[in-house]
Structure 1
Amino acid sequence: MPRPRTPLLSRERIRDVALELIDDHGLSALSMRRLADALGVQAASLYTHYATKDDVLDAVANKLIAEVDTSGFELGWRQGLLTWARSYHAALTAHPNAAPIIASGTQRRDEFLAMANAVHGGLVGAGWPARRATEISGAVKYLVIGAASTPFASGFADDVQVYLDRYPHLTQAHRLRSDAARIDQDSFELGLRALVRGLEPGPGASASSVP
């Protein structure tokens, strides 16, 4: 059978190529026309599968969130938070240019809603009041998205002369870039563990009594 002249399209292929474009060029560079060019089709062909660019972004968000593991809540709320946060962070650090899509929230994204349901249910099921469970979920989200979208160690200049005269406490900062991945990962882990330890008063504590 001869190959079709027009490449075969599917929702999954469109979504995956959109993520590739975001990874390579940033979120602002994505348009339906550029996506169509990357797929070798006319832009009009995309609208058979996705009505709008926002629908494509929702599909990208769902793909990333589907990689997040919420099964740890079966072992307790602390393990649940650690497993959830680490897998959430891993999914975003693999695609940092997509972090703003995730930061935009749950909306009507199925995978987001399933994740939020599992996390909230795990916390409430362990005895946390619903309001506090929501706050805990929010705190973890802020930590994850902040760590994934604003890496700390890579922001310093490589040249030690930048710091020598005016910033005497930063004279080793030029070394950070070469070890940025480890520093950023360790910083995230420090923040996560500190957050979970700060919740040690435990399930059932009132909102005012939990630090």
Structure 2
Amino acid sequence: MSSASSPPRGRPPRLDRARTLLTALDLLDRSGLDALTMRRLAEALDVQAGALYRYFATKQDLLTAMAEHMMDGVADAAGTGDGDWSEKLAALARAMRTALLAHRDGARVFAGTHSTGENTLGLADTIAGVMRAAGFPDDDAVRALYTVANFTVGHTLEEQAALQTDDGGPADPAVLADTVAAGTYPHLKAGLPALTSADFTRLFEFGVDLLVEGLRARRRSSESGSPFG
């Protein structure tokens, strides 16, 4: 015999914000961002579409909440190991990329939102804090935050786009290789293996290294009083 607190048999679980959000993320993973609509979400929850607006006034509000959920725990990457600021910054960038890759079209969802939730702002504050602790001026710390976040999201956008086509299959780098080989692109031909490589982690790490070394050089210039700092 069921307890008094159990929902009547045959009825769906009670609708709430958390269940709505998790169902939306599940639909995103299964069908992608373009197929995620409020109507389909309502069908998956077995409710009328109007019921969703009790928790999310618009689809944009839903996407913002999804982006915020993706950033849960990412800031914790700053506490791994005893590395200096550069290692902490790289760890945070890697953790952000991993979080976005954990969901189909994760970078597209995040790029279209501007969450002011605890997870997103906590990550931003952590990155800025790492930079300030390293001796960067306050303004540079925030600009470094934007640069790292924009690079990470932009890279992951391209990475996820390259890994899927309309039919869900991987993109074929042979098309790019054939086009470059047949054209007058001598410099691209010289680096063709890297140009057509699907090693996105290596490409990401190269970019992170460039950012770190650029920031390191900027700090040295600032400390030395160089007008180019």
Q: TM-score range by the shorter chain?
A: 0.7 to 0.9
Identity over the aligned pairs, expressed in percent? 31
Q: Is the 8 A contact 1:62 1:112 kept in 2?
A: yes
Give the whole-Å Cα distance in 1 for the aligned partners of 2:111 and 2:204. Answer: 17
- Structure 2's unaligned 5+ residue stretches are 3-7, 164-169
Q: Is the 8 A contact 1:22 1:97 kept in 2?
A: yes
After superposition, the Cα gap between the structure-2 partners of 1:161 and 1:82, relative to the gap in structure 1 and judged at 3 Å, is closer
Q: Which residue of 1 aligns with 2:32?
A: 26
Cα deviation for residue 4 of structure 1 reads 4.9
Give the whole-Å Cα distance in 1 for the aligned partners of 2:176 and 2:142. Answer: 44
After superposition, the Cα gap between the structure-2 partners of 1:127 and 1:165, relative to the gap in structure 1 and judged at 3 Å, is closer
After superposition, the Cα gap between the structure-2 partners of 1:105 and 1:47, relative to the gap in structure 1 and judged at 3 Å, is closer
After superposition, the Cα gap between the structure-2 partners of 1:159 and 1:116, relative to the gap in structure 1 and judged at 3 Å, is closer
Q: Which segment is superposed worse, 160-169 or 193-202? A: 160-169
Q: Which residue of 2 aligns with 1:144?
A: 152
Q: Is the 8 A contact 2:93 2:148 kept in 1?
A: yes
After superposition, the Cα gap between the structure-2 partners of 1:161 and 1:68, relative to the gap in structure 1 and judged at 3 Å, is closer
Q: Which residue of 1 aligns with 2:68?
A: 62
Cα deviation, 1:81-111, whole Å, max 9, x if unaligned, reads 0110000011112224131232235442332
Counterpart code for 2:128 = H
Cα deviation for residue 43 of structure 1 reads 1.4
Q: Which residue of 1 aligns with 2:141?
A: 133
After superposition, the Cα gap between the structure-2 partners of 1:160 and 1:118, relative to the gap in structure 1 and judged at 3 Å, is closer
Cα deviation for residue 170 of structure 1 reads 8.3
Q: Is the 8 A contact 1:18 1:35 kept in 2?
A: yes
Q: Which residue of 1 aligns with 2:42?
A: 36
* Correspondence 1:193 to 2:198: no
Cα deviation for residue 32 of structure 1 reads 1.5
Q: Which segment is superposed worse, 162-171 or 140-149? A: 162-171
Q: Is the 8 A contact 1:120 1:137 kept in 2?
A: yes
Cα deviation for residue 161 of structure 1 reads 9.0
Q: Is the 8 A contact 1:50 1:56 kept in 2?
A: yes
Give the whole-Å Cα distance in 1 for the aligned partners of 2:74 and 2:89. Answer: 12
Q: How does 1:116-127 map to 2 (within 5 A)?
A: 116-127=124-135
Q: Which residue of 2 aligns with 1:109?
A: 117
Q: Is the 8 A contact 2:78 2:91 kept in 1?
A: yes
Q: TM-score, normalised by structure 2?
A: 0.74
After superposition, the Cα gap between the structure-2 partners of 1:115 and 1:34, relative to the gap in structure 1 and judged at 3 Å, is same
Query: What RMSD in Å do the two structures reach over aligned CA positions?
Result: 3.2
Q: Is the 8 A contact 1:27 1:97 kept in 2?
A: yes
After superposition, the Cα gap between the structure-2 partners of 1:58 and 1:114, relative to the gap in structure 1 and judged at 3 Å, is same
Give the whole-Å Cα distance in 1 for the aligned partners of 2:213 and 2:99. Answer: 24
Cα deviation for residue 164 of structure 1 reads 8.5
Q: Is the 8 A contact 1:67 1:91 kept in 2?
A: no
After superposition, the Cα gap between the structure-2 partners of 1:45 and 1:139, relative to the gap in structure 1 and judged at 3 Å, is same
Q: Is the 8 A contact 1:127 1:204 kept in 2?
A: no
Q: Which residue of 1 aligns with 2:182?
A: 166
Q: TM-score, normalised by structure 1?
A: 0.79
